[in-house]
Chain A
């Protein structure tokens, strides 16, 4: 009920913003190539949908593959850093450093090294989404309830048992938080990687639209990216609700 009300309030506010936008564009007679009205964007969206769909599908595929690779790498790194404190001290600062390199700068380099194929794109997506998973998973593993750990110890549980029965399930909610952040990043990563050269994808569609001053199409692409991020987020949240049990119910 509360959630519905809150969601309703957000929708109403968004709607008001769109109406304001529409009114300003019409009233000030802002030209189409500078800022199209929301109604024009929606119309364009429906008109170009048949051409656009293959691009969307290409981006979805790229995003999902990239996210899976990035998340798996992040998970494995987190486990390594958790189990081996020496590796942690050696590598963790480097990981933080890696996040300070802007993707946009890195991307052309990757293309020089690996060409225009799938590989550099997947590297870019993995790079933007592994880090949140590493941080979240490590935090989750580190914060395992000491009382529960103590019980496992006193019962004579092996390190493996403690990990599989206690630490990993305990870290699951944190892992999902990381996954949600990574998911939104992964769509962005996919589009950026497509700008740099691809045959299909929302990024490609955007580049074409931009170079022919079809600002309405640019907006169609932007809104599609937002919707994709939200959908991915929702899927992960659904997964979380089915997998994480016995925790306090969130509002």
Chain B
């Protein structure tokens, strides 16, 4: 569905991305794993159309979308909810930007994921985890094929993070969308994704693409299995090569 082909990007003299190529299939969960400052955010800005690549192509259903905005739905690292809007009003913001807000659909979604009682709450009244739930629902509701999640749980504490990962899986496994998930946590990438794209350090290029063989639906117990730990070890070695 989404194809990234030989993407090049540089800022002045500094090369940030070099020959980045990978694909996201229909309904596939793809994690991008790489060291900090490896140009993961730049990649999202290119897909979001805020930047135009120096060379290479971004194809959505075989159609180039280089520098075109509005093809992806976005969930940032910080919750970024508008403080003067209630949860319900915040959740429809993405739809508003596209054109028409559908409050009924939004209400159904909030009920489905157990947030119905927070409809009229303001963001200031929510915990960090709750805010990210709302942000994820907002991203799901904006009716775009591609969901880009930019380290969405990195600001949360360890306990909340695992809870959120499991929650995200449970929602996503029932309502499959194509997801591109940037993270620097190996465990998170394995637990959530179908496919992991490992990036090198700057200038970033694709070091390896690893398929995650675990069946869905996945449960937290997976984290303790030998297969999981072996894969984690393999990825750890890959990343370590980059640090050296």
Interface residues, chain A, CB within 8 Å of chain B?
145, 147-148, 150-157, 161, 165-166, 169, 172, 244-248
Do A245 and B69 form a contact, CB below 8 Å, given A147-B80, A155-B74, A156-B97? no
Q: How many A-B residue pairs have CB under 8 A?
A: 61
Q: Is the CB of A150 within 8 A of B80?
A: yes
A147–B135 alpha-carbon span in the complex (Å): 13
Q: Which residues of B contact A161 (CB under 8 A)?
A: 96-97
In this assembly, does B64 line the interface, its C-beta being within 8 Å of a C-beta of chain A?
no
Q: Is the CB of B93 within 8 A of A165?
A: yes
A152–B97 alpha-carbon span in the complex (Å): 8
Q: Is the interface of A mostly helix, strand, loop or mixed?
A: helix
Q: Which residues of A contact B45 (CB under 8 A)?
A: 154
- The contact sample of 5 A-B pairs, CB cut-off 8 A, is A154-B148, A156-B71, A156-B97, A245-B84, A246-B84
Question: B70's closest neighbor in chain A, by CB?
Answer: A156
Q: Which residues of B contact A247 (CB under 8 A)?
A: 83-84, 124
Q: Is the CB of A150 within 8 A of B83?
A: no
CB distance from A229 to the nearest CB of B (A): 28
Contact with A along B119-142 (1 / 0, CB 8 A): 000111000000000000000001
A148–B81 alpha-carbon span in the complex (Å): 7
Tell me which of A148, A157, A245 contacts B122 (CB under 8 A).
Answer: A245
A172–B85 alpha-carbon span in the complex (Å): 13
In this assembly, does B78 line the interface, its C-beta being within 8 Å of a C-beta of chain A?
yes
Q: Is the CB of A246 within 8 A of B83?
A: yes
Q: Which residues of A contact B74 (CB under 8 A)?
A: 151, 154-155
CB distance from B138 to the nearest CB of A (A): 9
